[in-house]
Structure 1
């Protein structure tokens, strides 16, 4: 599965995209803890989730991009062989 992050310039918008496209629960809010819980234990994630055109988000939200990169690394360890890829 591929998610295009073109035009995503805020944490809230990114999390809304995740919620809609990955089928997160209705209660899901823009929180990295909720994101982790959802991808690890709540939804059935695809074998590979590819995030494209993420550079604009990284430019506007460098702190959140750093957190996302850490989540991606932790996910690779916790959920192997499933993975999230920045492309």
Structure 2
């Protein structure tokens, strides 16, 4: 029996370019990472989710190329979210992170 397929990282793309509100960002995260409905939509819940709930191994790409002025205003929040993913990737070898900005 070949178990190799179980160790191939699942590719996930989090594209926040069209998001206008913080809630939309967390909806993208929740949907793309297949998180439960009770996901808390904040940085602490994000950390808990990617280090304990999300399926791993995972190859995550975060894209943020703001398409509107409202999207541009989310830059600081996106940076915080990226920092959480970076920290998780450093602590857990099962997460690979790519960022396109």
Matched, 1:60 2:73: yes
Matched, 1:27 2:16: no
Matched, 1:49 2:57: no
User: Based on CA coordinates, which of the two structures has the bigger radius of gyration?
Assistant: 2
Question: Could you give the per-residue CA deviations for residues 20-55 of structure 1, whole angstroms, max 9, x where no partner exists?
Answer: 121111111320111110011012145311122x03
TM-score (norm 1): 0.80
More strand by share: 2
Cα RMSD, aligned residues only: 2.0
Q: List alignment gaps of at least 5 residues for structure 1.
A: none
What number of residue pairs does the alignment pair up? 86
**Within 5 A, what are the aligned runs for 1:12-23?**
12-23=23-34
Q: List alignment gaps of at least 5 residues for structure 2.
A: 1-10
User: What is the match of residue 8 of structure 2?
Assistant: none
TM-score (norm 2): 0.71
Q: Which of structure 1's runs of 4+ aligned residues deviate more than 3 A?
A: none
